[in-house]
Amino acid sequence: MIVDSIKAKGLPMAVPHGLLVSAHVREIVQRVRAGEIGELALVEIECDKWDVMNAGIHWLNFFVTLVGDDPVADVLCACDTSTRTYRDGIQVETVAVTYVQTQGGIRCVMQTGDFVTTKREGKSMMFRIIGTKGHVEFWAFENAYILVNEQHPTGELIQPQQNPTVGHRAHLDNMAAHIDANAPDYTVADSSLRALEVVEAAYLSHRHRCLVTLPLKSFEPPAANGWDPGTPYQGSGGGRDGRKL
């Protein structure tokens, strides 16, 4: 693996997940981890004109960063492919819903696709972070968010002071600092690999019509079958009685 080789040589590296170095996202992560919206339960993502591969990798990277040491347990994904959409040389979904669950029970639900209607008018990308005592809403790279909690019961629009450098440049600046300190940091690289595994699991889930458990190295897809949920059971063909679980 490329990252393993880089680590073995102690080389610095940068992985350009621009969302992670945005002022509002860094502040949101701090607030959630500090318990300002209670215990984290759900992250909902609505993303128009993009797909699991090209944008979802960044959104899922945010999710695995937010949950920290709580690893992803399984992934379930359904894709509509009726328009045969491709983007950046890759076959992608017309629309997809990706459902992710961590070992600790935190969920992420992400809808991507060519035409996704978001709840907030005028926003093509939208994130909701739901906790037991409040929630946060933000709009991808827009430097603002709404916080609802005990201190802000009606919702407070917060616009942090933007960082001097943003996006890919910020990652390069961070890498330069690591070089100066002779202390490479692979935190973003590691979270990116975890997110990439979720992306791969999502498309495997669609391809094999099954729940995909992580880590992928130990996942074996089930044999294909003609089981058609929603149709009457004819009393033959195997299966199990869901009333006797």
Asked whether the beta carbons of 188 and 20 are under 8 A apart, the reply is yes
Instruction: Report domain extents, the chain.
Output: 2-216
Q: What is the pLDDT of residues 1-52, one digit of tens each?
A: 788 898 898 888 888 878 988 999 999 999 999 999 999 999 999 999 999 9
Note the pLDDT of residue 196. Answer: 97
Q: Pinpoint the alpha helices (H) of 19-123.
A: 23-33, 56-67
Complete edge-to-edge strand list for the sheet that includes strand 212-213: 156-158, 145-148, 134-138, 125-131, 40-48, 107-113, 95-102, 72-80, 212-213
Note the pLDDT of residue 33. Answer: 97
Asked whether the beta carbons of 51 and 81 are under 8 A apart, the reply is no
Residues 6+ apart with CB under 8 A from 242: none
Amino acid at 67: V
Note the pLDDT of residue 118. Answer: 94
Burial 95-126 (b: 16+ CB within 10 A, else e): bbbbbbbbeeebebebbbbbebebeeeebebb
- Give the chain's residues under pLDDT 70: none
Which residues are registered as beta bridge partners of 132?
A: none
CA distance 245 to 166: 52
Note the pLDDT of residue 2. Answer: 86
Note the pLDDT of residue 180. Answer: 83
Note the pLDDT of residue 128. Answer: 98
Q: Quick one: CATH architecture of 2-216?
A: 2-Layer Sandwich (3.30)
Residues 6+ apart with CB under 8 A from 117: 46, 48
Note the pLDDT of residue 16. Answer: 80
CA distance 241 to 243: 5
Asked whether the beta carbons of 135 and 37 are under 8 A apart, the reply is yes
Q: How far is CA 116 from CA 48, 56, 91, 124, 163, in A?
A: 5, 14, 18, 8, 30
